[in-house]
Amino acid sequence: MAEIIEMPKLSDTMSTGTLIKWLKKEGDKVAAGDMIAEVETDKATMEVENFEDGVLLKIYAQEGASVPVGGPICAVGEKGEDAPEVDAPDSGDSGSDKDESSKDEEKEEKDEDESKSKGKAEKSQPKKEESDESDESDKSDDSEKSDSSGDDDSGERIKASPLARRMAKDQGLDLSAIKGTGPNGRVIKNDVLKAVEAGTAKKGSASKDSSSAAPAAASAGTAVAGLEDKEIKVSNMRAAIARALVSSKTEAPHFYLQIEVDGAPLAKLRKTLNDKLAGLAPEQGGVKFTVNDLILKAAAEAVRRVPAINRSWKGDKIVQYGQVHLAFGVAVDDGLLTPVIRQADGKGLRQIAAEAKDLIGKARGKKLKPDEMSGSTLTVTNLGMFGISDFYGIINPPNAAILSVGATVKQPVVNEKDEITIGYRMKIGLSGDHRVIDGAVGAQYLSALKEILENPALMLV
């Protein structure tokens, strides 16, 4: 008997998922453990696993569809078996937009059919009646022809629904450049939306209507090639990021501290380790460390010295954690993910580096699991690789603090002998939740972190 595969709950806060891409198609053989689709949740884009052996009989949710948790997305069964009938999920448009657009399109189709029927009826009327109607029909034709979005350069009428025609006019699109997918090649709403999204079908600046205005436009400055106005649909993940950060910024009273660190010892240690280990095979202990690996290890080690930084606000109580679950930022196409290294305070540099590399790969490959992105107690974000020298991150709830690591910058410094020499300086910022920790705790933690980074051998014992 065919089994219906439902939208899984891929995160604690997930209520709906957007089906981004099917990895299998109808008729394909599938086995338990196969990944069959990519779904965007409020956390990230993840793959949906199949748990049945058989054939993908039917796909219920098309790409772009928004499906509630527990809603049907496909059916798997034996070859030749009939798939169960279910209600189709909503499309990627919001419900109200979908309903309104559907009504508009249905009305347009109905109006067009009625118009054709009326035209046939008018032809069958006596000559006088035809003459009486001619003035109004001529006015209507002239009115429609005056809309340049409805005619191509040759003056030939373009088949398009009134809604599509109006949308094309509002967006400044050339209807003749839009391929219609409606009946008899008619341009409909979805065709215009696709053209808007693709940035195609823009009206040429050399059109007759706009030729007289060209000099004025040129004098005011022309658009840079490759740049254009567009609207980007808010993804589930981006919406979740927005909600979390707005909540953090408005609910948690942020305070900010910064400390400058001598980055030379850390750079020297990294070079020494990589010179000895990077060239070896993995089975011989070969590994290559990044600056971020060393900072993550140091951040976890510093918590041992100032455990009060490792806290969360719980309304009527403050929780201080006995282990450091260290989150770190990974930039992806649609935002920032924060995978978590569990019990980082009890792990060595080599293990932290290996786990960080694995989590980064999963994040960029859309393979992170919900439990790999939750439960952090402290977060590190690093923009040094982009040349940013100093900044302050927004606290990642429910953490009490987030570290913001800048680039190591080569600059003149004054040494202990009051001599001006060339130094390597790194700025590290801390954003703290004043409900949970005070400035003194933040300062103590940054001081401990500075000592470890300037004497990095301390993190190896």
* Residues forming the active site: 434
Residue 58 has what DSSP assignment?
E
For 173-220, give the secondary structure using H, E and C: ECHHHCCCCCHHHCECHHHHHHHHHHCCCECCCCCHHHHCCHHHHHHH
Pairing of strands 311-313, 318-320: antiparallel
Residue 284 burial (CB count, 10 A): 9
Q: Crossing angle, helix 291-305 and helix 349-364, to 10 degrees?
A: 120
d(CA 317, CA 152): 69
Q: Looking at the chain, how many residues does it have? A: 461
**In angstroms, how far is the first alpha carbon of the chain from the final one?**
60
Kindly give, in sequence order, each residue whose CB lies less than 8 Å from that of residue 409, ignoring residues fewer than 6 positions away. 389, 424, 425, 426
Residue 180 burial (CB count, 10 A): 19
Rg (CA), the chain: 31
Q: Is the dihedral of CA 110, 114, 115, 120 positive or negative?
A: positive
3-state secondary structure of 143: helix
d(CA 168, CA 161): 10
